[in-house]
Structure 1
Amino acid sequence: MTARPGDPVRRVALPLSVAAGGALGASGRYGVQLLLPAEPSGVPWATLAVNVAGCLLMGVLMVLLLEGTATPHRLLRPFLGVGVLGGFTTFSAVATEVDALARAGQAAAAGGYLAVTLLGSLLAVHAGIAATRAVLRRRREGGW
């Protein structure tokens, strides 16, 4: 049985795929935070790590889905991009952590953490895109 655009099965599949991916991504983030617990007034390294890693993976994912040779399943992008990586990264936590550092009298640490998070995340997306395009180009040219 194939679902048509207005079918209830099709309307439910997208939110369920995002929710399932979000559960996986948030669980992964929680695991990283257990491995790298933050000191009460220290830099939250786990949040920085998941945001930069998630941005790198987002760059890789978007190139693979949009520029790869295969046509991906219609739910793959929302599942992986919005769900898994959206649940894994946590830019809302950056705002509260910057605020907590500033309130603890560590304005320089708060500003530095914010700057490193933003710059690191942007560079990571770019690196993921560039590296994945290079790999795809090499594969297309028969280098692998």
Structure 2
Amino acid sequence: MTLLLIVAGAAVGAPLRYLADRAVQARHDTVFPWGTLAVNVAGSALLGFLAALPVDGGLMALAGTGFCGALTTYSTFGYETVRLMEEGARFHAVANAAASIVAGLGAAYCGAALAQAFM
């Protein structure tokens, strides 16, 4: 049953990641991967929120592992950072790595703090 919950969450998270990434990136005329950064930060905030709540294993499998796991993308973040380095956009590559780490951790912390405020 847990596997089906993860698959169901991922079936929603993956297409949402693609659509959100494209929508954000279309609004920016730059090589910086704003779309990937946006979905990763949003997913980190949601996962931080969920992790701080007393949720059961099924909900965490569906929303945390499935949805957030498919919404966020470490592989695309890594690929885009390496691609920026290879194309000579070193500033953008370093900024992407730094912003992704700092903003992702900050978003997770804020999500957890928000969940704690509701409890």
Relative to total residues, which structure has the larger helix share, 1 or 2?
2
**Offset at residue 131 of structure 1 (A):** 1.7
Alignment size in residue pairs: 118
| Structure 2: gaps (5+ residues) | none
The 1-side partners of 2:17 and 2:72 are apart by 7
**Structure 2 equivalent of residue 24 of structure 1:** 12
C-alpha contact (below 8 Å) 1:65/1:77 kept by paired residues: no
TM-score by structure 1 length?
0.76
Once residues 96 and 41 of structure 1 are traced to their aligned partners in structure 2, the CA distance between those partners, rounded to angstroms, is 17
Superposed CA RMSD: 1.7
1:58-81 CA-partner distances (Å, limit 9, x unpaired): 111112235xxxxx3x42111111
- CA displacement 1:42-73 (0-9 Å, x = unmatched): 0111100000010001111112235xxxxx3x
- The alignment partner of 1:37 has SS state of helix
Matches within 5 A, 1:9-88: 13-37=1-25, 42-66=31-55, 72=56, 74-88=57-71
SS of the residue corresponding to residue 65 of structure 1 reads coil
Higher relative contact order (CA 8 A, sep 6+): 2
Give 1:34 deviation, angstroms.
2.4
Per-residue CA deviations over 1:74-118 (Å, capped at 9, x if unaligned) read 421111111000000001111100011001101111011100000
Unaligned segments of structure 1, at least 5 residues:
1-12, 67-71, 137-144
1: distance between equivalents of 2:61 and 2:67?
9
Residue type of the partner of 2:11?
A: A
2:73 pairs with 1:90? yes
TM-score scaled by structure 2? 0.91
What percentage of residue pairs aligned between the two structures are identical?
34
